[in-house]
Amino acid sequence: MRYFLTISYDGSKFYGFQRQHNVINVQSTIEDELSKVFNEKILVKGAGRTDRGVHAKNQALHFDSEKLINTKTLKKNLNKCLNNIHINKCRIVDDSFHSRFSVKKKHYSYKISFNSKKKNSEYVYFQKKLNIKKMKEASRAFIGIHNFQNFVSGERENYECIIYRIKFHHMFRNGVKIDFYGKSFYRYMVRNLVGALIDVGKNKATKHDIEHLLNSEKTDKMLSTAPAKGLTLENIYY
């Protein structure tokens, strides 16, 4: 049978989601505890990978086991022994469900603070304010289906992706949160999109520069990459 979990975690405590040797990561941490509970080797498959320092409020994953354990009990026991990870939901799903391939939409957010008193692991602090109006205008270039190869790290066969919506929110007097809704997000993609918008907000780039990089051949003329710690995987929709 197939178990489905949604989890939240503080990315500053982990070297990313993906299983790695000799470093603390989300995937191995959960697998170790599940293996103890089920008394067998458990491997989990996530909806996607988050980089070192990136947070999650509703990351999703699944795993298979022939053993039946009450999901309420499983959730309760896991939350007792996991550090810096919280199980939000736990249920049994159909075997055809896949935490990655069944995804319909993902929601990421990026938080920027201009207030030094607001500095913490979920915000990126900027000493000087950005031109939010220009950033909003430039963000419209990303909406729709594009080839994002100039905003993705690493080599892929396909760089095409769809972004449904980008929304700006004033969180407090001196800060802004940027929400991204899309089908798929590749490695460093959201951080590169935010970095490009920050360059626009600093008057170091324009909407035209972004439009030129979209759907273009790979170029060495890259815009900035925003720090990881301001990024949060907010939700995954199925």
Q: Angle, nearest 10°, between helix axes 132-139 and 189-201? A: 130
pLDDT at 115: 74
Domain count, the chain: 2
pLDDT tens-digit profile, the chain (238 residues): 999 999 999 999 999 999 988 899 999 999 999 999 999 999 999 999 999 999 999 999 999 999 999 999 999 999 999 989 999 999 999 999 999 999 999 999 999 988 766 567 688 888 778 999 999 999 999 999 999 999 988 888 888 999 999 999 987 667 899 999 998 899 899 999 999 999 999 999 999 999 999 977 787 767 999 999 899 999 999 9
Q: Which structural domain range is residue 180 located in?
A: 105-237
Residue 114 located in a structural domain: yes
**Domain final residue pick, 93, 114, 137:** 93
In a domain, 188, yes or no: yes
CA neighbor of 215 nearest in space, from 142, 132, 155: 142
The pair of three-digit structure tokens given for residue 204, joined into one six-digit string: 């170091």
Task: Report in angstroms the alpha-carbon separations of 9 from 16, 27, 58, 139.
Answer: 10, 11, 9, 28
- Are 162 and 125 found together in one domain? yes
Model pLDDT, residue 179: 98
Tokens 């993609």 correspond to what residue?
189
Q: How many CA atoms lie within 13 A of 97 on its CB side?
A: 19
DSSP 117: G
Q: Catalytic residue among 10, 32, 51, 94, which?
A: 51
Side chain identity at residue 67, one-letter code: K
pLDDT at 158: 84
129, 214: one domain: yes
Which of 59, 93, 127 represents a domain boundary (last residue)? 93
10 has catalytic annotation? no
Do the domain assignments include residue 56? yes
Given 60, 93, 126, the domain boundary residue is: 93
Q: CATH number for the domain including 31?
A: 3.30.70.580
pLDDT at 139: 97
